[in-house]
Amino acid sequence: MLALEECEIRRGRFYTSIEVAAWLRHPPKWFYVNRPALHRQGFPPPAVAVGQPRWRGDDLLDWDARRAVGECGDPGGSVVNLAEIARQRGAFLLSGKRRAS
């Protein structure tokens, strides 16, 4: 399995789908499949939609900040933390373990 390259997002720049996926620490295919769900969670639309979509770094960082404070309740959180939580929950569900009632 290939290691994902981490992408640092900066204000004032534009990012491709591949770079956004790397920033989210997921492969591009995951990003393409999950874009509708991300948009329902307030993920920004591409700033450039003609040809290859591109996202503004400002929009991505603002979305990340809103998610970190608003939905997680953790002012120090980030999209990376959310991705890790999702991975852990997915691994738990796949393990077949259930909580004791």
Is residue 85 domain-resident? yes
What does the alpha-carbon distance between residue 58 and residue 99 come to, in Å, rounded to a whole number?
41
Is residue 65 domain-resident? yes
- Condensed to tens digits (0 to 9), the pLDDT of residues 2-50 reads 344 567 899 999 999 999 999 999 999 999 999 999 999 899 999 988 8
Is residue 6 domain-resident? no
Q: What does the pLDDT read at residue 74?
A: 44
Domain count, the chain: 1
Domain limits at 41? 14-95
Residue 71 has pLDDT above 60, yes or no: no
What does the alpha-carbon distance between residue 87 and residue 69 come to, in Å, rounded to a whole number?
20
Task: Compute the mean pLDDT over every residue in the chain, rounded to the nearest whole number.
Answer: 80
Is residue 4 domain-resident? no
Is residue 7 domain-resident? no
Is residue 60 domain-resident? yes
Q: Is the backbone of residue 36 left (phi > 0), alpha (psi -120 to 50) or beta?
A: alpha
Q: Answer whether 0.75 is exceeded by the pTM.
A: no
Is residue 63 domain-resident? yes
